[in-house]
Amino acid sequence: MIKKILIGFVGFLILAFIVIYMTTRPTATDDGAYIPSPLSLKLATSSTTDFENTVYENPHTGNKKVLMVCTEERNMTMANGKKFSTGNHPVEMMLPILHLKNAGFDVDVVTPTGKPVKIEMWAMPGEDENIKKVYSEYKTKFENPGKLTDIVRTSLHDSTDYVAIFIPGGHGAMLGLPENKDLNKVIKWSHENDMFMMAICHGPAALLAASLDGDKDSFIYKGYDIASFPDAVDEQGPMIGYTPGAMPWIYGKRLNDLGVTIINEAADNTVHIDRKLITGASPQAANGFGILAATKLLEAVSK
């Protein structure tokens, strides 16, 4: 009897090990990269969002709008050489856009060279009708965005249309943007003209572009507090197969070294504003981030 129990227990352990192994392995894509494992998708994504269809009193009726800077790169090469299929997170892009639209602000979409926006479609909340609707509305803009190079060439000198710059998250915000010289100019232009800067989740990694031509003492956001995706949570990615390997570099530490303090320890719904910098910690923060951004932009244009 005991022998049968032991055999059954061992069989259960083997089965449990197989299930855990299979559900925590990243899933290969057709181009040889990997998307998150079934377990991590279950833990980290949702088919719906907590979008509050907020009605803003006295929405903006003028020409002020928001410039959203997105990544055009798909695959992140991890420390072990494997590629993570990433891009911008759909909830962190589109839920704030919904709030901005409700507040009367249009959103222009650009990538560094005008190549299509890369989106983490594996994180798309497929049962959320609001997200599906705004994605359909902006799909053409995502496929044919403007060029950040054109913004630098024309808008930095004569445009008064923009009230804010918006950098959505997703690990893709770490690809190309932190070392982009055009983004360096746009960030400094927005700061000098007292515009809002908005960045959520991994989006603050792109703010490192502001440090490209100066030392840490001259970094625009030195002394700022932000909400952002914690490095410690990124370190756990390989454990559940969210990423196929350890991160190639640690963006939070680089921001810390430049004098920025990340106030949240978890990938939660924390949102924060420090002067004209609006930040959020994760997809869970997207609704609160959108409300905060829309509210502050309306206050600014009403003055």
Catalytic residues: 201
Strand partners, 109: 68
- The alpha carbon dihedral of 155, 111, 173, 278 has a sign of positive
How far, in whole angstroms, is CA 57 from its chain's centroid? Answer: 28
| DSSP state for residue 153 in the 8-state scheme | I
Asked if residues 294 and 102 have their Cβ atoms less than 8 Å apart, the reply is yes
Q: Which residue in 281, 251, 255, 256 sits closest to 268, CA to CA?
A: 281
Q: How far apart are CA 108 and CA 145, in angstroms?
A: 8
Residue whose structure tokens are 């990938």: 267
Q: How far apart are CA 148 and CA 208, in angstroms?
A: 16
DSSP E strand stretches across the chain: 27-28, 34-35, 65-69, 75-77, 83-85, 106-111, 146-147, 162-167, 196-200, 225-226, 261-262, 271-274, 277-280
Asked if residues 286 and 97 have their Cβ atoms less than 8 Å apart, the reply is no
Asked if residues 100 and 293 have their Cβ atoms less than 8 Å apart, the reply is yes
Asked if residues 157 and 125 have their Cβ atoms less than 8 Å apart, the reply is no
